[in-house]
């Protein structure tokens, strides 16, 4: 299991958040599990209420947890958004922000535990949902989150922020590497 601490983009600070991390667990031949852990004064944040699980665009406009996944040396990548509401989104890109059709129509099961000071979100991405991944090459991941405060401001969290403005699609932000033997 790989533990990753996310950092807030310096232009979008959020004092209500004390810590945000993501544990990544690889299951050979099956895919990966993501375990997001948000700590802080969650009463000062907007946490989406539970909804019927469905694919929904625009989750990044509110609190959501994200993963960007690519194979080293390839321009294509996938984006996954997971909301504490139980809603999700999955996208495929042929190059930087150039979206292409991808029929990921089955629902993801998102497990959420929520208290005044902790939010845990767990989700599995099956290997079958990673068609762009070449398991013979190094996998690169950008692990990110958007956190909405009670005043409707948003903070942007990532392993690494390579630009002056938040840009989760920037490949220099895909800094979590998984060697081919992990799959």
Query: Of the given ranges (36-45, 78-87, 104-113, 151-160), which has the lowest mean pLDDT?
Result: 104-113
Proportion of the chain above pLDDT 70, given as a percent: 93
Per-residue pLDDT for 183 more than 60? no
What lies within 8 Å, CB to CB, of 5 at 6+ separation is: 19, 20, 21, 159
Residue 182 has pLDDT above 80, yes or no: no
Alpha carbon separation from 72 to 2, 7, 42, 89 (Å, rounded): 18, 23, 36, 23
| Beta strands 17-27; 31-40: pairing state | antiparallel
Domains, the chain, in order of start with CATH, read 2-182 (2.60.40.1190)
Sorting pLDDT into bands at 50, 70 and 90, what band is 134? low
Write out pLDDT tens, residues 112-126: 999 989 999 999 998
Instruction: Give CA separation, 11 vs 40, 76, 80, in Å.
Output: 19, 28, 24
**Is the predicted pLDDT of residue 8 greater than 80, yes or no?**
yes
SS3 state of residue 36: strand
Mean pLDDT across 164-176: 96
pLDDT digits (tens, 9 = 90+) for 71-121: 888 999 999 999 999 999 999 999 999 999 877 767 889 999 999 899 999
Please give the C-alpha separations between residue 43 and each of 59, 84, 94, in angstroms, as whole numbers: 20, 15, 39
């Amino acid at each position: 299991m790989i533990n990753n601490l996310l950092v807030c983009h310096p232009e979008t600070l959020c004092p209500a958040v004390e810590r945000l991390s993501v544990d990544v667990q690889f299951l050979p031949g099956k895919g990966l599990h993501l375990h997001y852990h948000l700590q802080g004064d969650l009463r000062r944040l907007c946490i989406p209420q539970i909804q019927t699980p469905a694919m929904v665009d625009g989750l990044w406009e509110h609190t959501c947890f994200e993963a960007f996944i690519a194979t080293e040396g390839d321009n294509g990548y996938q984006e996954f958004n997971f909301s504490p509401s139980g809603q999700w989104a999955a996208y495929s890109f042929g190059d930087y922000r150039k979206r292409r059709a991808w029929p990921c129509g089955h629902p993801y099961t998102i497990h959420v535990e929520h208290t005044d000071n902790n939010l845990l979100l767990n989700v599995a991405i099956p290997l079958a949902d990673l068609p762009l991944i070449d398991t013979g090459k190094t996998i690169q991941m950008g692990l990110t989150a958007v956190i909405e405060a009670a005043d409707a401001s948003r903070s942007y969290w990532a392993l690494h922020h390579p630009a002056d403005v938040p840009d989760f699609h920037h490949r220099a932000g895909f800094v979590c590497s998984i060697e081919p033997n992990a799959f």
